[in-house]
Chains A and B, each alone.
Chain A
Amino acid sequence: MAEVTVTLPTPLAASLGVNKEIKIQALNLRELIKSLGERYGAKLTQKLLDQQGRLNPIINIYVNGKNIRYTGELETTLKEGDKVSILPAVAGG
């Protein structure tokens, strides 16, 4: 198990009533999302995944700055000390 730091965007952290930075243990992204759901409620998992269990297209997750859509999506492995950022998929304008 690797302990990683997850950063949530402010409005999401506020709505969950949690800190923006969370320490959590997981081996890959799928497990991390499952653990977040167990800790903060299934509602959080429902926000992060679509109905087919894939990453919700309206968010992006980065591991050490790399978008997981290019690194194996939910199968992206995690190692000790990784920094995971969850951000809404807003880009351009």
Chain B
Amino acid sequence: MGKTSHLECRECNKHYPLERLYFCPECLGPLDVKYKYDEIKWTKSSLEDAARNLWRYFDLLPIEDKSKVVNIEAGFTPLIKATRLGKVLGLKNLYIKNDTVNPTFSFKDRPAGVGISKALEFGLKAVGCASTGNLAAATAAYAAKSGLRCYIFVPKGVEPEKIGHALIYSPTVIEVNGSYDTANRIAAQAAEAYDIGVVNINLRTYYVEGSKTLGFEIAEQLNWQTPDHIVTPVGSGAMLHAISKGLGELERIGLLNSSKVKFTAAQGKGCAPIVDAFRKGSDFIEPVEHPNTLAKSLAIGEPGDGLYVLRKLRESGGYAEDVSDSEIVDGIKILAKTEGIFSEPAGGVVIGALKRLIDEGKVDSDETVVCLITGSGLKATESLTPYLPQPLSVEPELETVAQLVVR
């Protein structure tokens, strides 16, 4: 028998077998995968020799047949002590979880890997996704590796680098004339009509499990401790919820004494429906019909897991911050300048939000803070170019260069 136990509705707690369900037929709530936790015998040392990718956590991922695992060596990315950035910001224990180094350069390699492996296990012939860009490349890469047909639905206005990156893996890319939420709706209808396993829609229950490996890794890399505070970019909110679930599971199996951690959700001004609801103290998330932020990967006007993020922020004593385009650019620059990490705008949102928390006295200087940097800046160079200086142009004479070198 397998290690998974059942699906459980997050709203009404009803249980279902591990089938192709992506919401609770009883109350329409989202479903979570539950495992036979008592049978999982991880110890701190038992994982030491495990594969250095996300599949090291296979026992708590929802694939039963190991032969169906599609592995492109994603995950187990570095957790870097950001001493120089910490010094600038006034934090002694600041860490960067650098997920820009995944095979398709974003954290989406985690959930896409689990979603597509599950599609193989279900015997599907075609997969796809609705994407603001990062998931497009991740899904297309895994589809290429698995040999499944692939359909990618993107909205108008996604960064050209992200579209080009996805296209190289030879999926069918369908640019929908509308916002992300429109592309998402078309993808959902296509999933139903043509039996496509759209990873973040009708395989979502399984797909989101991949994102919790971020939480597993952070805990493992901090020697099986949780940080005090995790600052995370938020689009739909699925990643934040998954990380929290993952930490809870580590506590459940005895690898963490406590899974308590404060979460801050960071969004771009111009598409911050979760931040707005948090500030109003409301559970109603007012959708954003026309998102307008440099952080296009977070431009989700109708966040599917928004309600659950709000609950998590409140439970954990965390915060929600929205960051302007200029704060995003400043965040990207300071991260690159101090730590040598080039993030896409979502990472600028995170650093901008952290700066805000510090300015407002919401973070103590000795707190252990982890910032999630979830996608590479190379995916959004066009949108950043206007904010960068021109290179210095010189004649090929050493004397000219001499005037520019600090001695």
Q: Which residues of A contact B (CB under 8 A)?
A: 7, 9-12, 14-15, 20, 47, 56-60, 62, 65, 67, 69-70, 85, 87-93
Contact = CB atoms under 8 A, between A and B. Distances in A.
Contacts of A11: 21-23, 25
B148 interface: no
A47 B307 CA distance: 17
Contacts of B201: 90
A60 B28 contact: no
B39 interface: no
Given A9-B192, A88-B23, A93 B200 contact: yes
Does more than half of chain B's interface fall in helix, strand or loop, or is it mixed?
loop
Contacts of A65: 182, 185
Interface in B174-224: 180-182, 184-185, 188-189, 192, 199-201, 204, 207-208, 211
Interface stretch (B56-64, B79-87, B296-304, B357-365): B296-304
A90 B185 contact: no
Nearest to B301: A91
Interface in B100-121: 108, 111
23 contacts: A10-B192, A14-B25, A15-B25, A47-B27, A58-B28, A65-B182, A67-B181, A69-B287, A85-B189, A88-B22, A88-B30, A90-B22, A90-B30, A90-B188, A90-B201, A91-B130, A91-B236, A91-B302, A92-B180, A92-B235, A93-B204, A93-B238, A93-B239
A20 B193 CA distance: 10
A92 B300 contact: yes
A89 B201 CA distance: 9
Contacts of A59: 28
Interface string B293-326: 0000000101111010000000000000000000
A67 B287 contact: yes
Contact of A62 (B25, B111, B185, B235): B185
Given A67-B287, A88-B23, 16 more contacts: A11-B21, A57-B284, A57-B285, A58-B30, A58-B307, A65-B185, A67-B302, A87-B188, A88-B22, A88-B30, A91-B130, A91-B304, A92-B132, A92-B238, A92-B304, A93-B111
Contacts of B188: 9, 87, 90
B236 A93 contact: yes
Contacts of B207: 93
A52 to B, nearest CB: 10
B102 to A, nearest CB: 15
A37 to B, nearest CB: 15
A55 to B, nearest CB: 11
